[in-house]
Amino acid sequence: MARRRGTYLGPVYYTTYQVAKFLGVSLPTVVNWVNSGLLAAHRTPGGHRRIAHNDIIAFARAHNYPVGRELLEAGSGQRKVLIVDDETDFSEMVREYLSLRGGFEVEVADSGFQAGLTVARFKPDLILMDIMMPDMDGFQVYRLLCEDPETRHIPVIACTAYRDASVDARVREEGFDGFVEKPLQLEHLLDLVRDKLGIPVSA
């Protein structure tokens, strides 16, 4: 099902961390709700638990949790992807593919410094991060994101053309949410993005 810019045509899903933030409770509380069957959750092809926007609203109202404007508005827009890469041609190719085929709202940052500014303004749901950049490499940017409570929940997929055993090991050690190698298989990237955002591949 296609999506046009600014129009919501399908379900939006959230991580247990995001649900905890929306409802003002601890992460273990949300996990307990899911495990006990009180809060419906779905599993992505990668095995991650995601909760649908409408299920959160219904649960909150049934159990007298306040439904804030942030939660109500969160389900009304496109999911946002930020591409951080200093190769303009590559970024524009990926932006066009994810926008047209995936229905995502996509922005591009061409440096680690610009990434920080864009994350604060754009508030992406997922980041595709080039590891090798001239001013600040992807590992440094990722660590800064993980240190900030406002951004540590954002899934980050590492991307590089210089993949070897040492890079693979470091990506695993740092805790990235995925790793893709240039030249990209765009269909695989789209499936990976959908998986990390909890969007069914058929959506």
Task: Look at residue 165 in the predicted model and tell me its pLDDT.
Answer: 79
CA-to-CA distance for 80 and 90, rounded, in angstroms? Answer: 18
pLDDT in the model for residue 2: 30
Residue 107 one-letter amino acid: E
Among residues of the chain, what percentage have pLDDT more than 70?
A: 87
Residue that has been written with the tokens 């200093």 in this structure = 86
- Shared domain check, 85 and 59: no
Q: Encode pLDDT of 56-97 as tens digits.
A: 888 888 888 887 766 766 655 678 999 999 999 999 999 999
Residue-number span of the structural domain to which 166 is assigned: 80-196
d(CA 73, CA 51): 16
Domain with residue 87: its CATH number is: 3.40.50.2300
Half-sphere exposure of 104 (CA within 13 A, CB side): 28
- Give this prediction's pTM: 0.66
Give the C-alpha separation, 62 to 67, whole Å.
Answer: 11
pLDDT at position 4 is 30
* Tens digit of each residue's pLDDT (9 = 90 or more) over 89-127: 999 999 999 998 888 989 999 998 899 999 999 989 899
**Looking at the structure, do residues 143 and 45 belong to the same domain, yes or no?**
no
Q: How many domains does the chain have?
A: 2
What does the DSSP 8-state code read for residue 51?
E
Q: How far apart are CA 111 and CA 21, in angstroms?
A: 29
Mean per-residue pLDDT for 49-62? 84
**What is the reported pLDDT for 76?**
53
**What average pLDDT score do residues 28-44 get?**
89
Full DSSP string of 155-172: -EEEEES---HHHHHHHH
* 17 and 95 assigned to the same domain: no
Claim to verify: residue 45 and residue 87 sit in the same structural domain: no
Q: Is pLDDT at 201 greater than 70 in this prediction?
A: no
146-163: per-residue pLDDT in tens?
998 888 889 999 998 877
Chain centre distance of CA 114: 18
